[in-house]
Amino acid sequence: MTKVLVVDDSALLRRVLSEILTEAGFEVAIARDGVEALAKLDEVRPDVVTLDVQMPRMNGLECLEQIMARRPCPVVMVSSLTAEGAEATLSALELGAVDFLPKPDGVVSLAIDELAPVLIEKVTAAATAKVGRGSRLLERLRARREAARAPTKTGARPRKQGAAPAGDPPEGLVLVGTSTGGPAALEALLGDIAPDFPWPILVAQHMPASFTASLAARLDGLCPLSVVEAAGPTPLRTGGVYIARGGADMVVSRRAAGLVALPAPADPAHRWHPSVDRLVASAMAHVAPDRLVGVLMTGMGDDGARTMAELHRLGGRTVAESEETAVVWGMPGALVRLGGASAVEPVDAIAGRLSMMLAR
């Protein structure tokens, strides 16, 4: 039986989370704050920890650092849907947390029906996650990039490349889908992308609406290309990376001036949002398959697998992240099982693979 340690300073939320997990067949222990959680680590030996971000005595980030140092295990952060909560959650994912759960708005007891399936799904996926893989990989990549960016004898450093001029339409598109473990995987991919990469990159990362602007800003500081959240109709240009706005979908359309990314209300026909399947299907409606490359990285479920397999069948190219580096090999694994992957690569080799594909 999977053991879960629920850590939260709210007695009501502790009770609600514990009841949901117990009824789903998990063995549950509780802690009222980070200090108590650390004291119970060796006693409970949890398979998964749900960890509140904001707590007295020791906050969630401090507690997470200690968990990863003392007894690493999968951690799902429980975060408020605020700008501050988004920043803290993204920091937690960098420190090794595998996923996050938005804290219910308003009356918690009224949100149980909506909260329960998401909580169960995330804890179940976390129990199979590869702990700390993303954070260890990022440490290696950052060290490598720092060495590459070291000053030359003249003290000069490479300059960040901005988006191409508005009159420079893209020849094709790269479509990226991620979920659980995605922020670290995106950092690994985009941080290694070539500064002269010729096609726009569109990203659908499963996240709430309040998180993706912060994610785009973080990635923009790490990527040699320009990274923005596509919060409105956005022309697609070479030299640009476009992050779908969370809680909605992103679709590709064609206008007189060229291709654009449009935010669209979440389609209930799709389970996860922003939907990778919907992004890929919309791109295939406006761009020839041989002008599209699909990339499916770490994440639970199978979003994107069906449409990327179809893209592959029609002559497009696809890359699946390998099981070796994926925190959860759900989405890329589904693509591989469908026979839809042109290549299977560890996350730190995907940028190089893309450059090779587009050089042909």
| 110 DSSP 8-state letter | G
Instruction: Count structural domains, the chain.
Output: 2
Average pLDDT in the chain = 89
Query: In which order are the strands placed within the sheet that holds 317-321?
Result: 226-230, 240-244, 201-205, 173-178, 292-296, 317-321, 343-345
Q: Is 206 among the residues known to form the active site?
A: yes
The catalytic position among 18, 206, 273, 282 is 206
pLDDT tens track for 214-228 = 999 999 999 999 999
Residue at which a domain ends, from 83, 111, 131: 131
Alpha-carbon distance 83 to 213, whole Å? 9
In the three-class reduction of DSSP (H, G, I as helix; E, B as strand; rest coil), residue 276 is classed as helix
Owning domain of residue 226: 161-359
pLDDT tens track for 180-236 = 999 999 999 999 999 999 999 999 999 999 999 999 999 999 999 999 999 999 999
Do the bridges between strand 258-264 and strand 27-31 make them parallel or antiparallel, or are there none, so unpaired? unpaired
pLDDT tens track for 274-328 = 999 999 999 999 999 999 999 999 999 999 999 999 999 999 999 999 999 999 9
Same structural domain, 186 and 285 = yes
Q: Is 47 among the residues known to form the active site?
A: no
Confidence band of 141 (pLDDT split at 50, 70, 90): low
Q: Is 282 among the residues known to form the active site?
A: no
Is residue 150 included in any domain, yes or no? Answer: no
Structure token pair of residue 88:
């803290």
Is residue 152 included in any domain, yes or no? Answer: no
Tell me what pLDDT residue 151 has: 45
Structure token pair of residue 89:
């959650």
CATH number at residue 122: 3.40.50.2300
The catalytic position among 80, 179, 210, 214 is 179
Residue 159, H or E segment: none
